[in-house]
Every structure is written in C-alpha cells, then in structure tokens.
Structure 1
Amino acid sequence: MELISIAAEAENGVIGRDGELPWRSIPADKRQYRDRIAYSPVILGRRTFDSMREDLPGTAQIVLSRSESAFDVETAHHALGIDDAVATVGSLGSDHAYVIGGAGIYKLFQPVIDRMVLSRIPGEYDGDTYFPHWDPDDWTVVDRTSYDEFTLEEWVREQN
C-alpha cells in the first residue's frame, strides 16, 4: 500500500488560515491537485471532510475521526486510525491513497507515508496551520516542475 501526502505549502510551512488557503487561488495548482486525486481514495480528517462536502475529492473518502460517525455520503468511510484507514483503502481494491489533510492528519501519517507531492507557494504567509516538519535527508526529490505561480515537487522516502 502506497500512502502519498499531497499539500500546498508556503515557504514558511503554512498550509492554511481559518480553514482556508492564506494565498489567493491558483487555478493551475487546484487543477493538478484535483486531476491527481480524482481516481483514487483520499484520507482526511473530519473537519477537512466537512469543509469539502460541496465538492468531495477522490473516489472514496476515508475520514479519520475519534468518534464513530455515520456519513450521509455514500463514498465516505469512517476510520479510527492509520491501520483502519489502510485496511479500508485495501477493502476498496486500491493499492494507494492520498493523504489530503488537515494538519493533524498530515502529522499522524508523516512517519508512514511513502511519497509527498508538494506545491511550493512562493512567499511567507500568516497562518494557523502548518505542514509537519520532515527531514529532507530522509527523502529524494524525483520530480520538480515550475509553474508561473508555484513549483510542484514530488518526494520519495529513502529506503533503509
């Protein structure tokens, strides 16, 4: 099972402010993000799920929450933790899933993810939500694509 974090991050590590992106919308980034996850299951926290209800990403949403929850969305599945989320992804017949946030979910999965796809947004922004710290020495950048308003990087965890 391959777990992939995908996020947009400013130079100072900020990924959000008050539940929103702190920079103006970047259509090319939103498009590549949606295209990448469109045909895959996604793993996300309850607040992130609730904020996306009008336009849910992925083929299935595995929602991590401490409380057992029923969802009024057919494609949504509850998970209590990493093992439960991975088992749910497997039960859906997929060999990978994208971890799409929020901050607590990124931090929880950081030790076990295999790949990161990061949109690097130039500049520093005020925010209240940060991508978790990670050591670049443990990772190799395998792709870097420059766009007008961001740079897309793909990182793979070094195998020990």
Structure 2
Amino acid sequence: MELVSVAAVADNGVIGDDGALPWPSIPADKAQYRRRVADHPVVLGRRTFESMREDLPGSAQFVLSRSERSFDAETAVHVDGVEGTLDRARKHDASRVYVLGGGAIYALFQPHLDRMVLSRVHGEYDGDSYYPEWDDEEWELREETDFERFSLREWVRTSPDE
C-alpha cells in the first residue's frame, strides 16, 4: 500500500491559518487535488475533516482523533494513531492512501510516506499551521509542473541503497 501526502504549501511552509487556507483560492490546484484523491481513502485530522464537511474528499475518510467518536458522514470512520490508520486502510483493501492534514497529521505520518505531492504556492503567508520539514537526503524530486500561482512537485522517498 502506497502512502502519499498531498498539501498546498506556501514558500515559507505555511499550510493554514485558523482552519482555512491563508491565500485566495486557486481553482486549478483544487481541481488537480480533487481528481487525484477522488477514488482513494484519505487520512485527515478531526479539525481538517470538519472544515471539509460540505465537500468531503476521497472515497473514504479515516479521521484521526484522540477521542473515539462517530461521524454522520457514511464514508467517515474514526482511527487512532498511525498503525490504527494503516490497519484500517489494509482492511479497506486500499492500494493507495492520501494524507491530507492538518499540520500535526502530516508530521505524524511523515516517517511513513512513500511520496509527497506538494503544490508550492508562490508567496509567503501568515498562518498557524506548517507542513513538516523533511530530510532532503531521503527524498528525490521526480516531477515539477509550473502553473500560474503554484508549482506542483512530486517527491519520492529514496531507498537507503540509492
């Protein structure tokens, strides 16, 4: 099973501000992101899940929360920790699972990722949530596509032998 992180990240690492994006909407980025995750389960924290309630991404939502809870969305289930999430994804028979945030969720799953697909939003923005830093020695930039207000970058974890 492949574990992939997807995020929009400003030049200064900001990904959010008080539960919202700190930059004006970028329709091209939202469209590519929605297409990418549409047929796959996604992992997200409770606050991120709640911020997306009107338009839930993915085929199933694994909502990571410290407290056990149920959700009124038929496709959403509570998960507990990284291992619990990965076990649930295996039971779901998922070939790929996308990690959608927020900041603490990205940091928790960072050591387990196979790929990162990051939209680098041009500019620096104020915010309270950041994408975690990573060791450049462990990652290789495989693809980069420039758009009007962002660059889409795909990073792949390198094996220790490379």
TM-score of the pair, normalised by structure 2: 0.97
User: What corresponds to 2:13 in structure 1?
Assistant: 13
User: What corresponds to 1:55 in structure 2?
Assistant: 55
1:40-86 residue CA offsets vs partner (Å, 9 max, x unmatched): 00000011111111100000000011111111111011111111111
User: What corresponds to 1:87 in structure 2?
Assistant: 87
Cα deviation for residue 123 of structure 1 reads 1.0
Cα deviation for residue 137 of structure 1 reads 1.9
Amino acid at match of 2:62: I
DSSP 3-state at the match of 2:9: strand
- Equivalents in 1 of 2:8, 2:137: separation in Å? 21
Whether 1:23 and 2:23 are equivalent positions in the alignment is yes
1:23-47 residue CA offsets vs partner (Å, 9 max, x unmatched): 1100000000000000000000011
User: What corresponds to 2:42 in structure 1?
Assistant: 42
User: What corresponds to 2:132 in structure 1?
Assistant: 132
- Equivalents in 1 of 2:21, 2:70: separation in Å? 28
User: What corresponds to 2:155 in structure 1?
Assistant: 155
Identity of aligned residues (%): 59
- Equivalents in 2 of 1:27, 1:108: separation in Å? 28
User: What corresponds to 1:109 in structure 2?
Assistant: 109
User: What corresponds to 2:33 in structure 1?
Assistant: 33
- Equivalents in 2 of 1:45, 1:11: separation in Å? 23
Cα deviation for residue 159 of structure 1 reads 0.6
Cα deviation for residue 149 of structure 1 reads 1.1
- Equivalents in 1 of 2:92, 2:113: separation in Å? 19
Amino acid at match of 1:98: Y
Give ranges in structure 1 of 5+ residues lacking alignment: none
- Equivalents in 2 of 1:125, 1:135: separation in Å? 23
Cα deviation for residue 89 of structure 1 reads 1.0
- Equivalents in 1 of 2:90, 2:146: separation in Å? 34
Question: Aligned pairs, how many?
Answer: 160
User: What corresponds to 1:78 in structure 2?
Assistant: 78
Q: CA RMSD in A?
A: 0.7
Runs of 4+ that moved beyond 6 A:
none
TM-score of the pair, normalised by structure 1: 0.98
- Equivalents in 2 of 1:5, 1:46: separation in Å? 17
